[in-house]
Structure 1
Amino acid sequence: MTAPQGPRAPRTPPQDDWRLFRGDGDARRVDFPEAPPWRRFTPADDAPRPRPYLIGPDESEVVNAALLLRRPLLVTGHPGTGKSSLAHAIAHELTLGRVLTWPVNSRSTLRDALYDYDAIGRLRESNLRREEAGSDDDAPGEGPDIGSYVRLGPLGTAFVPGERPRVLLVDELDKGDVDLPNDLLTVFEEGEFEIPELARLPEDQSHVDVLTADPRVRAPVTRGRVRCSEFPVVVITSNGEREFPPAFLRRCVRLDLAEPDEQRLRDIVEAHLGDAALDGVDDLLRAFLGRRAPGELATDQLLNAVFLRKGGLDLPAGALLDAVLHRLGGAV
């Protein structure tokens, strides 16, 4: 009779084997290698690590024009050309702090980006205080602080007065409602907006400190109005899925980011992965350029392929290369 077998001891694959998962059902403890530079995350309280961003002199001049004119920069281009990353590059180079991001979708409204008022939460707190006090009415001056129930959104926070402007990324505006660009015009032109719930307060409550899109940071609001002292650096991205109204376009500085050519791709790989990253990856560059049609491959897919190759993965032509350099358009 064969002696009963105990559970098999976990096995650790060789350190030079890139395959962490083998699909054989054996439990094992592995050491994860370092993540790609663009997939490393810092604690919430730490400043994110700046990522290399390469842009040509013509494009940088357009950015500077928008900065000097205090106009929104409307950045168009295919996915993966670096539209969103441009906002972070500007904030890093000009030391303007954390980027305020408003990701737009079909349900987004201007109010969402400006502020949110939690009326239900404030009412619940008020009722709780009444119950604890055993009274039907709040004692004078003891109602819940309304500032704790008003939070400025990314656009509203960008308009808080300060010595230096904030960077606001309005990501994929073309995914929003058709009227959203026109709704933004008034705010962009006037540089201010009103919070009606605060504007209606009595005179002795005209100054309220409200929450902002920055963690643990409050901003003073007087008589319900927020007015910027420096117009924020607004970067609006669009994938070109639809046209914007002429009145909106007239108030923007437009920048179209083209697909990077072979030399720019080499520069990007070197900037992200180091000088040695270009050794032995000519076949990946050729495969990427050969498969790329407008809007169907993104630069970070090439970076993924080079990173895997440098990590020990042969990545020959076949299913694995197809999985990394997959088309972005069409059915999946």
Structure 2
Amino acid sequence: MPLWPVYTGTNEPHDGITLLPPPPPWRAFNGGPVLDPPDATADADAVSPDRTHRAETYRATSQTVQLVNAALYLRRPLLVTGPPGTGKSSLVYAVARELGLGPVLRWNITSRSTLHDGLYQYDPLSRLYAARNAPAAEAGIEDHLRLGPLGTALLPYARPRTLLIDEIDKSDLDLPNDLLNVLEEGQYEIPELIRTARETPTAEVMIDGTDQRVAVEGGRVRCRTFPFVVLTSNGEREFPPAFLRRCVTLRLRQPDDRHLADIVRAHFDGEPDAYAQTLISRFLSRVGGGDLATDQLLNAIYLARSSGLDIDSLDELAEQLMPYLSEASPTDAF
């Protein structure tokens, strides 16, 4: 029987992803040969202490749980918007941990990012150098090509990979439109491999995150199960309607007092003490005046618990740790 919700937001790992129902007919893919899911420890960066902590301590709202499951069921990307510090990028790590989806692939977007960067990188100069130095034993083109995070996510894995496309609103204006076809079709081509497919129909190429190689046949990649893709945005720009209709959109807001207390309990493994409660109240009273991030509050609480400072010193330090993040915001006293 299908399972709803597949992602529960409880942070308890389980194998419920196997109970996900078949995709809608218009989102079914048949890529191959099928690849086994990667080991959770295959990518050292993906299991670093900071990412592991974020996955274990993330606290999802009921709206977040509902829309994550909608994206999983529909095999659609999840566009997560909201102010800085509301847990947009942490969400993908929590989902991957709970559902056992392996290392999270991460693509950090800048104004210079292109679709090609996300799919694969090819170094023709290194290939030319290798040919000049050892023409009789020239390495294949695949030795100078590596799949990017998006290109790796779209490999035909038996289980969905998780991909974080972080800060998509910082991209060039063309990138969201360039992503449309790849995210809709779940496939892409590598022209450099297509040109050599007659002589080398199968190429072993390296994937993102590790030095593992996978087989790419005929220079074409098509997914088997659509990856769980999270695109984050700080709301700094609008996206084309064609892009938005292909995504499930989750809008995060600053957490309320109960949610903040839950976050503090998760990060510090216990109930907030009296001074932490005071900091939470002060943080909430300032939210309406400008942008604040939850990790600013967590930093202040950590120092209050570990520094041994007196109350007056803590108040002064907390004010300096929690300035508004936008220059146009007021600078009223803490």
What TM-score comes out, normalization by structure 2 length? Answer: 0.80
Within-5 A mapping of 1:1-332: 44=44, 47-48=47-48, 49=52, 50-129=55-134, 138-139=135-136, 142-293=137-288, 296-311=291-306, 312-314=308-310, 316=312, 319-330=316-327
Name whichever of 313-322 and 253-262 sits farther off: 313-322
Q: CA shift at 1:59, angstroms?
A: 2.0
In 2, the alpha carbon distance for the partners of 1:289 and 1:275 equals 20
Q: CA shift at 1:295, angstroms?
A: 5.3
Are the equivalent residues in 2 in contact too, given 1:76–1:239 (CA < 8 A)? yes
Are the equivalent residues in 2 in contact too, given 1:81–1:258 (CA < 8 A)? yes
Name whichever of 272-281 and 109-118 sits farther off: 272-281
Are the equivalent residues in 2 in contact too, given 1:119–1:149 (CA < 8 A)? yes
Are the equivalent residues in 2 in contact too, given 1:270–1:278 (CA < 8 A)? no
Are the equivalent residues in 2 in contact too, given 1:191–1:228 (CA < 8 A)? yes
In 1, the alpha carbon distance for the partners of 2:141 and 2:266 equals 48
In 1, the alpha carbon distance for the partners of 2:116 and 2:132 equals 27
Q: Deviations over 1:110-138 (max 9, x none)?
A: 00000010100111111111xxxxxxxx3
Q: Deviations over 1:136-162 (max 9, x none)?
A: xx33xx211221210000000101111
In 2, the alpha carbon distance for the partners of 1:281 and 1:257 equals 23
In 1, the alpha carbon distance for the partners of 2:128 and 2:245 equals 44
Gaps of 5+ in 1: 1-42, 130-137
Are the equivalent residues in 1 in contact too, given 2:46–2:103 (CA < 8 A)? no
Name whichever of 243-252 and 304-313 sits farther off: 304-313
Structure 2 equivalent of residue 10 of structure 1: none
Are the equivalent residues in 2 in contact too, given 1:66–1:73 (CA < 8 A)? yes
Structure 2 equivalent of residue 18 of structure 1: none
Q: Deviations over 1:41-84 (max 9, x none)?
A: xx937834343111122221111001000000010110011100
Secondary structure of 2:275's counterpart equals: coil
Are the equivalent residues in 2 in contact too, given 1:81–1:257 (CA < 8 A)? yes
What TM-score comes out, normalization by structure 1 length? Answer: 0.80
Of all paired residues, the percent bearing the same amino acid is 51
Q: CA shift at 1:318, angstroms?
A: 5.3
Structure 1 equivalent of residue 22 of structure 2: none
In 1, the alpha carbon distance for the partners of 2:233 and 2:142 equals 34
In 2, the alpha carbon distance for the partners of 1:151 and 1:145 equals 13
Secondary structure of 2:107's counterpart equals: strand
Are the equivalent residues in 2 in contact too, given 1:104–1:173 (CA < 8 A)? yes
Q: Deviations over 1:238-275 (max 9, x none)?
A: 11111100001011001111110011111110111022
Gaps of 5+ in 2: 1-42
Mark the structure with the bigger radius of gyration. Answer: 1
Q: CA shift at 1:294, angstroms?
A: 6.5
Are the equivalent residues in 1 in contact too, given 2:257–2:281 (CA < 8 A)? no
Secondary structure of 1:80's counterpart equals: coil
Structure 1 equivalent of residue 24 of structure 2: none
Cα distance change on mapping 1:46 and 1:241 into 2, 3 Å: closer
Name whichever of 278-287 and 66-75 sits farther off: 278-287
Cα distance change on mapping 1:315 and 1:152 into 2, 3 Å: farther
Report the structure, 1 or 2, having the larger helix content.
2
